[in-house]
Amino acid sequence: MTRTATRPLPLREALQGVAPYLQGVRGRWVLGLLSAMAAGLVALAIPQVVQVLVNTVFAEAAPGTAGTADPAAGVWWAAGALALLGLAEALFIWLRRFFILPPAADVENRARISIYRRLQRLPVAFHDAWASGQLLSRAQGDLALLRRWIAFGSVMLVVESVTIVVGLVLLFVMSWQLALLYLVAAVPIMIRSFRFRTDFRAASRLSQDQAGDLATTVEESVHGIRVLKAFGRGPDALDGFRGEAETLQGTEVHKASVLAKFISLTVSLPELVLGVALGLGLYLVAVGDLTVGALAAYFATTAVLARPVEGVGQLMGMTLSAKTAIDRHLEVMRVPVAVASPAGTDAAEEEATSRAVASSAAEDSPVVTDGLPPSSGRLAFRDVVFRYPDAPEDSRPLLAGVDLELTPGETMALVGVTGSGKSTLVQLVPRLLDVTAGVVEVDGTDVRAYPLDELRRRVSIAFEDATLFSDTVRANVLLGAPAEVTADGLDSPRAQALLDLALDTAQAGFARDLPVGVDTEIGEEGLSLSGGQRQRIALARAIAARPDVLVLDDPLSALDVRTEEAVTGRLREVLAGTTTLIVAHRPSTVALADRVAVLQDGAIHDVGTHAELLARSAAYREIITTGAAEDRSLAGLADAAHDDAALAAATDAARPPAGAARPPAGRTAGREETR
Ligand SMILES: Nc1ncnc2c1ncn2[C@@H]1O[C@H](COP(=O)(O)OP(=O)(O)OP(=O)(O)O)[C@@H](O)[C@H]1O
């Protein structure tokens, strides 16, 4: 669905918004503008030479004229001057391109990097609310429009306007009557241009938004291609896509027709006027009020003016589209970074530079100024309340007073019926979401008081929906590894040791059997892995971060019971000192925890060991019975087909012959790991 467009920003505000991208490029832009201006003025000088040329020829040809000593010389001089002016015009056009194209590309690049950085900083709630295609079109198409406008539209709009003004002055110098006639054509054009601006701006905004929606549809259907195929919904998806594409086509056609109507006016009116001007001009020559040279120069000047006059509509259209692109860009750039580092930290200062608006939550929170608390792994939720921003105002908060404390090194399972808010609760720990009220504490300090990078160094998270990037297993696993371990490269002995430990703990040793071992490309553009294998790589990634607090949001759900037992067993061994909060559905996971917390009706209903809760909590027994049924069916499945065996067969088939080149490494990661 098309996002509701916000009110167009006033021009000054929009220009201020993109001013940071223009720093350092203004000088070249001005030089380019001057070159373009010079080219325009040289073009206007050409008719003046024509006037001299024609008058010279007519003077020589007139009966009874004494003539100059060498009549041909004047013609040759004028012709030579014309050629030189032509060359000068070409040179100035080249200089315009030379000066302006690189800075325009620079602006595009800066804006693109800024929006990408912004997208990384914006909270998960923002990404939940915005369609990916809208963000894609803002980071791609809109910025290409901006580049074209800076490189061409903005310059030519100034140059063509100046050319028109200077050209009109010259026309008045040649003949005020003819100039006035030409000017008459401009009045209806100016009146029409006001209506044109409103219509074209609306059409332009609609088409850019619809292009974003179309990108979202393509992205979704590519991601969901298996579901579409499995349910035979390809033709329906195509119909939906065709509908959206036709809507966009309709908008584009409407946009083009608005522009075409305006352009036809700007082209036809001056042409009509020129017909009348020819008659009037000949009359003025006949009565001796105008020289033939001046009449020729008048038409040569109007020919030079034709391009700017005709182009002004196009340039206005381009300017309006660029303005829409800036509005759309700033819409994203001005979304408050609700989850921000506290004031006073480097990250917060960077945030202030990019004009971010920190949330009141971040501003109100205490700031760690006297050093950070020592790492211990203590985790506590104190009267935590959370409500999603888009939840109805009068609804009960999803979390309505959660109190829970984990001691350092403890493994606690969090259980609750589906939709009770488990995933939401655990996302509050690394601040993927921020509490509405109450406090989440790590090592006795409010998580909002930590610089984000420090908090996320202490807390690591793995999700049920394991997102892997288009990169090697090695790069995926060591993504969040401590900087000191990877300082000498991802294949240094220390990094290798951590990689091995993480893979072994997560029971992800299968990665070594992939075609190029741990250097095999996986993810969207690499080798496809099974759900369980993906989860284990994602778990290895969380382990390799060596956190004090490990949050696991049901990351073992796709594993068979035996593999899950092996993983949790090793996890307890390797991460003996790490506090672990694990969202669990199955008794097999719960049984391995020191204690279990039951989340019900937005609060912690009970906490105890598995055995204690079984004995005293009916709610717990009900939750666990459902999980047990799942366990039994998974155990059966596990006996029937084991992931790794299936993979071994698949990779044997996919293994390249000895000496074959491995796929290119280091393709950029495309998406944040969010639920
Ligand atoms: N981004 C969001 N915006 C609004 N509501 C949301 C959002 N994400 C989740 N919810 C709602 O919050 C509730 C709790 O979701 P959550 O994923 O935390 O539950 P859960 O206990 O982890 O469920 P499950 O066991 O099925 O994974 C659900 O009703 C869900 O619809």
User: Where exactly does CATH 3.40.50.300 map onto the chain?
Assistant: 379-654
For 379-654, CATH number out of 3.30.420.40, 3.40.720.10, 3.40.605.10, 3.40.50.300 equals 3.40.50.300
The pick from 122, 388, 598 for probing ligand 1's pocket by mutation, whose C-beta has the most ligand atoms within 8 angstroms, reads: 388
Pull the structure tokens for residue 418. Answer: 């589906």
Residue owning the nearest CA to atom 4 of ligand 1: 388
Residue 467 burial (CB count, 10 A): 18
420 CA → ligand 1 middle, Å: 7
421 CA → ligand 1 middle, Å: 6
101 CA → ligand 1 middle, Å: 48
Q: What share of the chain is helix, strand, coil (3-state, %, to 5)?
A: 65, 10, 25
Ligand 1 binding residues, C-beta < 6 A: 128, 388, 390, 398, 416, 418-424
Q: Give yes or no for a contact between 277 and 181, defined as CB atoms under 8 angstroms apart.
A: yes
Q: Which of 81, 85, 82, 78 is nearest to 41 (CA)?
A: 85
Cα–Cα distances (Å) from 353 to 45, 143, 303, 345, in that order, read: 48, 21, 49, 13
User: Where exactly does CATH 1.20.1560.10 map onto the chain?
Assistant: 13-333
Residue 440 CA to residue 115 CA, distance in Å, equals: 30
Residue 99 CA to residue 150 CA, distance in Å, equals: 12
Residue 504 CA to residue 511 CA, distance in Å, equals: 10
Q: What tens digit of pLDDT does each residue of 481-532 get?
A: 888 888 888 888 999 999 999 999 888 889 899 888 889 888 765 567 888 8
Packed helices 11-22 and 292-333: angle between N→C axes, nearest 10 degrees: 80
Of ligand 1's listed atoms, the one at least distance from the Cα of 554 is 27
pLDDT recorded at residue 7: 72
419 CA → ligand 1 middle, Å: 5
The pick from 385, 398, 432, 674 for probing ligand 1's pocket by mutation, whose C-beta has the most ligand atoms within 8 angstroms, reads: 398
Residue owning the nearest CA to atom 17 of ligand 1: 423
- Using DSSP, state whether 386 is helix, strand or coil: strand
The pick from 126, 420, 463 for probing ligand 1's pocket by mutation, whose C-beta has the most ligand atoms within 8 angstroms, reads: 420
Residue owning the nearest CA to atom 26 of ligand 1: 418
422 CA → ligand 1 middle, Å: 8
Of ligand 1's listed atoms, the one at least distance from the Cα of 124 is 1
pLDDT recorded at residue 6: 63
The pick from 393, 423, 589, 600 for probing ligand 1's pocket by mutation, whose C-beta has the most ligand atoms within 8 angstroms, reads: 423
7 CA → ligand 1 middle, Å: 32
Residue owning the nearest CA to atom 6 of ligand 1: 388
* Close Cβ partners of 467 (under 8 Å, ≥ 6 residues apart): 538, 671, 672, 673, 674
115 CA → ligand 1 middle, Å: 28
- What is the DSSP annotation of 411-455? EEEEE-STTSSHHHHHHTTTTSS--SEEEEEETTEEGGGS-HHHH
Residue 416 CA to residue 413 CA, distance in Å, equals: 10
Sign of the four-CA dihedral 524, 530, 536, 539: positive
The CATH fold of domain 13-333: ABC transporter transmembrane region fold (1.20.1560)
Residue 159 CA to residue 178 CA, distance in Å, equals: 24
95 CA → ligand 1 middle, Å: 58
Residue owning the nearest CA to atom 7 of ligand 1: 388
Of ligand 1's listed atoms, the one at least distance from the Cα of 391 is 4
124 CA → ligand 1 middle, Å: 13
Give mean pLDDT in consecutive 10-residue pieces for the chain, a chain of 675 residues.
Answer: 62 86 87 90 82 71 53 74 88 92 91 90 83 86 90 87 87 88 79 82 88 86 78 84 92 92 83 85 88 85 80 83 91 79 54 39 45 83 90 86 92 91 92 91 91 87 82 89 86 91 89 89 72 87 88 82 80 82 83 88 91 88 70 46 39 36 32 30
Burial (0-12, 13-18, 19+ Cβ within 10 Å), 208: buried
273 CA → ligand 1 middle, Å: 68
Residue owning the nearest CA to atom 29 of ligand 1: 419
Residue owning the nearest CA to atom 10 of ligand 1: 388
388 CA → ligand 1 middle, Å: 9
* Residue in this structure with the two tokens 């008459």, named with its chain if needed: 184
* Residue in this structure with the two tokens 């040289």, named with its chain if needed: 42
Q: Which H or E element spans position 604?
A: strand 603-608
537 CA → ligand 1 middle, Å: 24
The pick from 122, 339, 384, 422 for probing ligand 1's pocket by mutation, whose C-beta has the most ligand atoms within 8 angstroms, reads: 422
Pull the structure tokens for residue 329. Answer: 């860009």
423 CA → ligand 1 middle, Å: 7
- What is the DSSP annotation of 541-570? HHHHT--SEEEEESTTTTS-HHHHHHHHHH
* Residue in this structure with the two tokens 């030519």, named with its chain if needed: 156
Of ligand 1's listed atoms, the one at least distance from the Cα of 129 is 1
pLDDT recorded at residue 659: 35
Q: Give residue 190's Cα distance to chain centre.
A: 37
CA angle 574–578–584, rounded 5-degree value: 90
Residue 89, phi then psi, degrees to nearest 5? -60, -45
Of ligand 1's listed atoms, the one at least distance from the Cα of 421 is 18
Maximum alpha-carbon separation in the chain: 128
Q: Which residues pair with 157 in a beta bridge?
A: none
Residue 437 CA to residue 386 CA, distance in Å, equals: 7
* DSSP structural state of residue 233: -
499 CA → ligand 1 middle, Å: 33
Residue owning the nearest CA to atom 16 of ligand 1: 421
Q: Give yes or no for a contact between 647 and 529, defined as CB atoms under 8 angstroms apart.
A: yes
Q: Which of 154, 126, 155, 125 is nearest to 138 (CA)?
A: 126
471-472/521-522 β-pairing = antiparallel
Of ligand 1's listed atoms, the one at least distance from the Cα of 599 is 21
